[in-house]
Structure 1
Amino acid sequence: MTRLRAVLVSLVVTMTSLVAITATTTTPAHADECYSWGRSLSSGASGADVAELQIRVAGWAGYGVNMAIDGSFGPQTVAAVQGFQAAYGLEADGVAGPATYAQIYELQDPDCTPLHFSYDEVVPDCGGTGFSGGSVPEETVKENLKRVMWRAEALRQRIGNVPLTVSSGFRSQACDVEVGGSGSGQHTYGNALDLIGVPFCTLADNARYNGFGGIFGPGYPDHDDHVHVDIRAGNTWSAPDCGV
């Protein structure tokens, strides 16, 4: 074998080994009833799997950050993954790999809702079943509810893994009017939850760190007996009695 041929063969063997190692270390093996990730994700990645990750970690992006679910792994997603990892005792390196996915799988129910919240809790306030009659189609309502529930899961963990109760979830447009709303509020999109179960100011104060665009609590009209959180764009917060 000539020297050149020997060098080429050596390079091929080396590259093959590197590919095999990369495949082993970047392809988490899991079969989850809801969703499974097939690769590790880090800064610069993009795709539907990034968007699925963002839904589950958006509540950890930091104070006042209402992170977009856009399928692009940018600085906010890095911060959100780091926040999630730190909250659950993992190495906070900002890379979503097997350990991060394993923690998500522990928190993920078969219908993709988080462990401590469910669609059964956020059914229409005014009776009935399903999620129709809102400001967007039923499937969009359910997707929005899933996203707000994952942020509520983050809030629950942040305040010490203390149980929270949903006192109001989805409302049809007719129901929203019936309870005194405008008929087109955030509840009609599936974007909002009203929470009780711990001191309201604890909820309002901590919710600022868990990705909620809307926060309304004590001191805001008609919000002295619960804290409203939602995932609207931007930040609109008002709980004057809590300094929020």
Structure 2
Amino acid sequence: MSKLIRLFAAALLAIGASAGTVLATAAPAHADACYTWSGVLAQGSSGEAVRQLQIRVAGYPGTGGVLGLDGQYGPATKSAVARFQAAYGLTADGVAGPATFAKLYALQDDDCTPVNFSYAELNDCNSTWSGGNVSAATAKANALVTMWKLQALRHALGDQQIRVTSGFRSVSCNNAVGGASTSRHLYGDAADLGAGPHSLCTLAQAARNHGFAGILGPGYPDHNDHTHVDGRPSRFWSAPNCGVASLTGGLDPLGD
């Protein structure tokens, strides 16, 4: 199904919702070559349908939060869904039904990437996603989650362009640019962002709200020309010139 048709379907669902139409029985919209939900997901739901939803709302965990992609629709997932709904003018009840899914279908391309980012954009190294510190499949899956977080960040900043200057790197690519041996770029869950419509400090400050455990920016060594975001296991934020800091002190324990 083309993007235009998906957008039209989303509009029809929105009209139905405003008119009080019961949407739970409506046929679900479909996204070719991607994931299609059926029914309604709410707190207590579990399984792959929930995990796919979590990927797409990973950018809405709340300030300083990181949403787990565990397939369990707990309080954190409910809150993330509610924030996503509020961001797009939907009823923010934390229940994922037809209107929520219609918005997600409108926001994603047929390969499940968000409309404003692509796998090619998150990989300036090779087309196979191989040679990093994780399997190619894991690196590509990590990049998908990063893109959905970036899509949330982009929307929060007025739907203006966010320029990605570096993404996944194999070990050889990372060595060539002088990256640290523990760089999150080797895991596929990192992105370097260049200045554009938004300053580097604006990007670093806003990233705190969109699921990034790692944020490095102006004032941190070798980061005055970009803002780095990633999905490391524990939080480390340092962009001293932007007033961005976490409880962790010292230099980045993982490197960039």
Q: Alpha-carbon deviation of 1:141?
A: 0.8
Query: How much does 1:199 deviate?
Result: 0.3
Amino acid of the structure 2 residue aligned with 1:25: A
Match of 1:66 in 2: 66
Question: 1:29 aligns to what?
Answer: 28
Give distance in 2, aligned partners of 1:78 and 1:161. 24
SS of match in other structure, 2:169:
coil
For 2:199 and 2:36, locate their aligned partners in 1 and report how far apart those are by CA, in whole Å. 36
What is the SS of the residue equivalent to 1:194? strand
Pairing 1:75–2:75 present: yes
1:163 and 1:179 mapped to 2: Cα distance?
25
SS in 1 for 2:139: helix
Q: Deviations over 1:39-95 (max 9, x none)?
A: 210111111100000000011110000111000011110110011001111110100
Residue 55 of structure 1 corresponds to which residue in structure 2?
Answer: 55
* Paired position in structure 1 for 2:203: 203
- Give 1:161 shift: 0.8
- Structure 2 unpaired stretches of 5+: 1-22, 245-256
The 3 A distance-change label for structure 1 pair 195 and 26 is farther
Deviation at 1:231, TM superposition (A): 1.2
Q: Is the 8 A contact 1:66 1:233 kept in 2?
A: no
**Identity of counterpart residues, as a percentage?**
52
Aligned residue number for residue 192 of structure 2 = 194
Deviations 1:201-243 (A, max 9, x none): 1000000000001000000111111110011123110000000
Question: SS of the residue aligned with 1:167?
Answer: strand
Structure 2 length-normalised TM: 0.83
Residue aligning to 1:98: 98
Aligned to 2:41: 41
Aligned positions of 1:143-162 closer than 5 A: 143-162=141-160
Secondary structure of the residue aligned to 1:58 is: coil
Aligned to 1:6: none
Secondary structure at the aligned position of 1:121 is classed as coil
Q: Give 1:28 shift.
A: 5.2
1:74/1:27 CA distance change after superposition, 3 Å: farther
Gaps in structure 1 of 5+ consecutive residues = 1-23
More helix by percentage: 1
After TM superposition, give the deviation of residue 31 of structure 1 in Å: 2.3
Q: CA deviation at 1:30?
A: 2.6
Q: Give the deviation of 1:105 after TM superposition.
A: 0.3
Contact 1:123–1:130 (Cα < 8 Å) also in 2: no
Aligned partner letter, 2:50: V
Aligned equivalents of 1:27, 1:41: Cα separation in 2: 15
Q: TM-score, normalised by structure 1?
A: 0.87
Secondary structure at the counterpart of residue 25 of structure 1 = coil
Shift in Å, 1:195: 0.9
Q: 2:251 maps to which residue?
A: none
Q: 1:91 and 1:240 mapped to 2: Cα distance?
A: 38
CA contact (8 A) 2:30 2:105 kept: no
- The equivalent residue for 2:164 is 166
Deviant stretches of 4+, over 3 Å: none
Quick one: which of 112, 129, 132 aligns to 1:131?
129
Q: Which amino acid aligns with 2:220?
A: Y
CA RMSD of aligned residues (A): 1.5
The structure number with the bigger radius of gyration is 1
Q: What is the Cα deviation at residue 186 of structure 1?
A: 0.6
